[in-house]
Every structure is written in structure tokens, then in C-alpha cells.
Structure 1
Amino acid sequence: MLVFDQKSLINPFSKIIALYALLISTGCNSLTQTNSNNNPSIGGGEKPTNSASNQNLPVVVATTSVLCDLTKQIAATTVDLKCLIQAGQDPHTYQPTSGDRKSIETAKLIFYAGYDFDPSLAKLVKSSNNPAPKIAVHEVAVPQPLYGEGDEHKHEHQAEKTEGKTPDPHVWHNAQNGIRMIATIRDNLTQISPNNETNYHNNAQQITNELQQIDTWIKSEIQTIPAQQRNLVTTHDALGYYTNAYGLNFEGALSGLSTEQQPTAARVGELVKEIKSTKVPTIFAEVTVNPKLIKTVAKEAKVQLSNREIFADGLGEPNSEGDTYQKMLVANTQTIVEGLGGKYTPFVKKP
């Protein structure tokens, strides 16, 4: 355990923390990543529409961009899909709208994340009088989550220790968990639209096959990073499932499992020292979190800040390199491999 003189840390960073808090409260949801290195062959970039032709279809609500994309890929045009949190928005801090309430009240099926990932919407879903099935997809698909200390900076990503810890909701960063989420979504769609069971099964199987390929590809990509450089530092603690599944060491983050947690001046100084001691070559910002404070950490620690941001809390906006679930996994892997000194080879989907 590292021990520091907090008085020596507070003065240099107190103004930075105040600025960071202001930025978090006003602008973190507006940041998105776009990149010309798109691969439209990965995943299905088609987005849901709400045209008049959807009026006779069952309404399905998906609270997050990941759930929305997976539901769209499985259901295609057989449902009227309402996506509440748009790509590029932060589920941790999202506040429901009157339109969200209306969608929840009229839905025939509701998919929300669970594990306190989308807390405001989850509360709204649970309190609704709508008798429609309300599926916490992350909890159903991954009933034994990793755990982190939600109010502390040092997290232990392991399922064995649960007392006093918070379930990590970012389950989709492990492609195998994504496959489990697909099965959960497929089965519940079949319950409300049994006539489409064959279509749902076939679509889900296609996505599953692709994710199996991506899972294998990620493992091989991470192996190209020199062993002593497989250390990850990010803005908040969102990639525990990724590091646990693919052989990286999670060295630290500015804040915990939620972006609502604001780092203290002591935490900033401690992270700088951790980076120096582990000789991390590159640290990473995230798409939905303002990068100013992590830039300061990089400067103080004298390491590089990747010019590519990680899709940590959802997908990228339309036409970005992370606008589907599959493309997001590939884009994040490229960011990490290139940033940590590995040899990146583009993913090629096999028939």
C-alpha cells in the first residue's frame, strides 16, 4: 500500500480537481470519438428508426447503446425499438426524459443494464406499473460479476471477494459475456414474438460466431504487447472484464466504477507515482469523460497519453469506429495494443 503526504499533494492539484468537477457536471456527455478507420464489415451499423411502419410492432425498450445495438442486430425490423441513452452519453449520470418515461410505460419488453450501471433509468423501470418483462441483462447474463470497491481508487477485480464491494457493471468488455448477453436478449425477444424465433436464433448465432472470432483475435493481439508493458491506466475503472479476460494488468484509474466519483487531489498524486513505478508507457482517456485531468496526470508522470480514446461506457456515435458492439471491441483493442507497444493486425471477419 502506498502512503503519501496528502498536504504536499493537495495544493498542486486542488485547482485542477475543481475544474475537473465542473467539466464532469457540464460537458462530459458531449464528447465523442470519430475516426476514419471504420470497418463496416464488422457488426451491423444499422440504427433503429421509429417510422409509421413501426406502429403495429411490439415496442421494445433498451436503455443503453450496447443493449440497443445487440437488440437491433437480433430483432432487425421485427420490433419498434426505443433506445434511451444514445451513443456518446454517460449512463452513470444520465437523467431520464419525459419521452423515456412514455417509452417505458408503453413497452412490451424492457432491457436495462443492471448492476447500477444506468441507475436513474433502472429506478424508473423498476417503479413502472407496466407489467411487461423488465430484464436486467447484465445481471441475467453474468450472474457472477467481478467486484470493485466503488468508493475507493484501488479495485480488486475478482468474484471471490464480495463483502463491502460493488458489482462491476461493465460486463460487455469481455466478448464471452457479450455472447451471454445475446442469448439473454434472443430468448426474451422470442417470448414476446414467438413467430420470429427462427430469425432471432439465426441472427444471434451469426453475432455469436463473429464474437468468438473477435475473442480469439483480441487474445492474440494482446500477446504482441511486451509482457512488462501489459499495464493499463484509464480515466475510470471500466475495463476490469477486459483486463481479466485478455491478460492485462489493471494498474489504476482516476476514479472508480462510476464516472460520478470524482478523484481527490491525493488520488491524482498517487496515480502519478504508480505510473512512474510501473513504467506504464501510455495511459488512456475515455470517450465520454473530459480528458483534461488525465492529460495532467500524463504530463506529471512523463508518459504518453494515447491520441485514441477508449469506448468505456458505451458505443461511439454513428459513423465512428465504435458504432456497433463488435466494432467497439475491435477499436478498443487497437487503441490498447498500439498504445502499449504491441503489433496491431486488423481484425478480418471470416465467413
Structure 2
Amino acid sequence: MISSPRILLMACLFAVGDVAQAAQSGEKKTVLTTFTILADMAQNVAGDRLNVVSITKPGAEIHGYQFTPSDLVNARGASLILNNGLGLELWFEKFTRQLGKVPSVTLTDGIKPVSIRSDAYKGKANPHAWMSPKNALVYVENIRKAFVKLDPAGAKIFNANARQYSDQIRALDAKLSKQLASLPRNQRALVTCEGAFSYLTRDYGLSEHYLWPVNAEEGQGTPRQIKAVIDVVRAEKIPAVFCESTVPTRGMEQVAKEAGAKFGGVLYVDSLTDARGPVPTYLTLLQKDTDTILKGLGGQK
């Protein structure tokens, strides 16, 4: 049976420095993930059978993460690394090359990516595939298969946990679809700092506008990017705009002020919070974002 979200978070987000100690205990194999959302998914499948550890901490910006020598030292006790792929973890290839012989699995294998449509990243895959619950089912299946291969004796546990967790994801998908369908036709536009919501807007029939496509080099938006979004918000009379929790909000607050919209709040994409924060799990992240969007754009919970 899957543990409660709070217990899961405590299990999967302990410091990466505990990896070596966990491995030396010999009790459970340790699986690393590149960021907290993958850790939560993986822990739901692993249950109590495996230790799951996120390399990056809650609230971290994942794209340009700078790993440390201690990350490498501590990670050497791991049996497997799970990464997102699609160009999300710009540091991952260098990390694994320096780490040595620890196998890795890319969890977006089998997902058809949405292409980024603008700027220097035009035509490249949008890496935020987990923002579609339908895609999350692929993540879970890839995790299940990886765990069965890693620990065949635990296959029954992994299979049961994956089924249960997938059912939870499907139920939330149906709920979010119904909630977001309540948005008025003239207010079905999501404006954010990063173009991280392409999969969500595709699934639920919203248009998408943003300051920059990927959180790699941008910080607050260039004057050109800000002006372009101001023009869209004014022209389409979009009532609210949003920004992500891992980047400064000042650029989007300027958009809101100059376009006559309101700043609708912070959305969560690249990282969970700790157990005391508003999004300690992947499923609460999706629900919290939906609630924030509905409040800003005039939909119904």
C-alpha cells in the first residue's frame, strides 16, 4: 500500500548526503532522481521497498543546477538514476560522466514531445512533459519497469503500487479537466513567465503565452519579451497573469501593471515544496496550480 504524502515526502526528499549511508546499510537499494517531482513519483511506485533520493532539493531551479563534488561523492552509493530527459537537466550528462558506472533511465521515453515555438529554443522539445497527467502515466510505467529490472523480487510490490498510483493520476486528470472546462471561453489563456505549461494547456484546451520558453538563461524577461506579452494581454483582455515559484516574479508583475491585468499568483512546475509547503507531492502540485489558475481567470473549483 502507498504511504501518506507526508511520509512519502520525508522518505524521498532526504538529503543526498544520506545515499552512501543508505547504500552501506545493505537493507535497501537506493535510487536517485534528478529533481523532487520524479522522486515523489518514484517513491509512490517503490513504497517501502527502495530508498528514493532527489539530487536537487525542494524549491531548486532544475534546468541550470550546478552539482557539487559532494553530490558526486554521495551519489556513488546509488543503484539507479532516474532523469527526465528532453533537454531538461542540462547538467545531467556531465554528472553521469563524472559519476561513473551507475545506470540511468530516462522517464520521458515513449512520450511525444510538444515543440517549443519561439526564440533560440524554437523546434526543440518542451521538457515539462510531467505537467500532463496523461504523460505522467508513462513516467509511472517507465519507473515500474526500471524497478522490476533493478529488484525483481519486489515486482509484485512495484506493480501493485504503480496500478494504485496510476488510478490516482487518472482520477485527478478527470477532475482537472472538469474544473478547467468551467473557464469562460474568452478567458482560456494562460500567461506565465516560463513556457512550462504547453502540455497542460494542450490537454485542457487553453492557449499559452509566456515571457521566455525555458528557464535556462533568462531571469526576469527582456524588454522585448515583456512588451510582446503586454501586447497580447491587452489585445485579448486576459484578466490575470502568473509566474513560477523558482524564478523572480518582477517581470510578470510589470506585465500585469502595464496591461491592466492582475498578477494571479505563483504556479509550481519544476519543484515540489517541503512537507510544510503547499505542494509536497506531484498530485497536490497539479491541483494547487489548477486552483490558482481558476481563481485568477474566473473558473469554478
Q: Normalization by structure 2: what TM-score? A: 0.90
CA distance in 2, matches of 1:256, 1:113: 17
Per the alignment, residue 105 of structure 2 pairs with: 135
1:201 aligns with 2:201: no
CA distance in 2, matches of 1:126, 1:136: 15
CA distance in 2, matches of 1:253, 1:301: 14
RMSD between aligned residues = 2.1
Per the alignment, residue 74 of structure 1 pairs with: 45
1:311 aligns with 2:268: yes
Question: How much identity, in percent, do the aligned residues show?
Answer: 23
1:261 aligns with 2:202: no
Per the alignment, residue 326 of structure 1 pairs with: 283
Q: Normalization by structure 1: what TM-score? A: 0.77
AA paired with 2:11? Answer: K
Per the alignment, residue 219 of structure 1 pairs with: 177
Shift of 1:269: 1.2
1:114 aligns with 2:82: no
Q: Does the aligned pair in 2 maintain the 1:47–1:69 contact within 8 Å?
A: no
Per the alignment, residue 294 of structure 1 pairs with: 252
Larger RCO of the pair (alpha carbons < 8 Å, separation 6+): 1
1:83 aligns with 2:54: yes
- Pairwise mapping of residues 11-160 of structure 1 onto structure 2 (< 5 A)? 44-48=8-12, 49=14, 50=18, 55-56=25-26, 57-126=28-97, 128-130=99-101, 132-138=102-108, 140-142=109-111, 144-149=112-117, 151-152=119-120
Match among 159, 177, 184 for residue 142 of structure 2: 184
Q: Does the aligned pair in 2 maintain the 1:149–1:165 contact within 8 Å?
A: yes
Q: Which runs of 5+ in 2 are unaligned?
A: none
Shift of 1:71: 1.1
SS in 2 for 1:119: coil
CA distance in 1, matches of 2:218, 2:46: 36
Shift of 1:82: 2.6
CA distance in 2, matches of 1:258, 1:280: 23
Q: Alpha carbons of 1:150 and 1:120: their partners in 2 closer, same or farther (altered >3 Å)?
A: farther
Q: Does the aligned pair in 1 maintain the 2:5–2:280 contact within 8 Å?
A: no
Q: Which runs of 5+ in 1 are unaligned?
A: 1-39, 156-163, 345-351
Shift of 1:42: 9.8
* Residues 310-319 or 206-215, more deviating: 310-319
CA distance in 1, matches of 2:293, 2:155: 38
Per the alignment, residue 37 of structure 1 pairs with: none
1:273 aligns with 2:273: no
Shift of 1:53: 6.5
CA distance in 2, matches of 1:337, 1:323: 20
AA paired with 1:78? Answer: R
Q: Does the aligned pair in 2 maintain the 1:69–1:325 contact within 8 Å?
A: yes
CA-to-aligned-CA distance 1:55-84 (integer Å, 9 cap, x gap): 212221111111111111111232232310
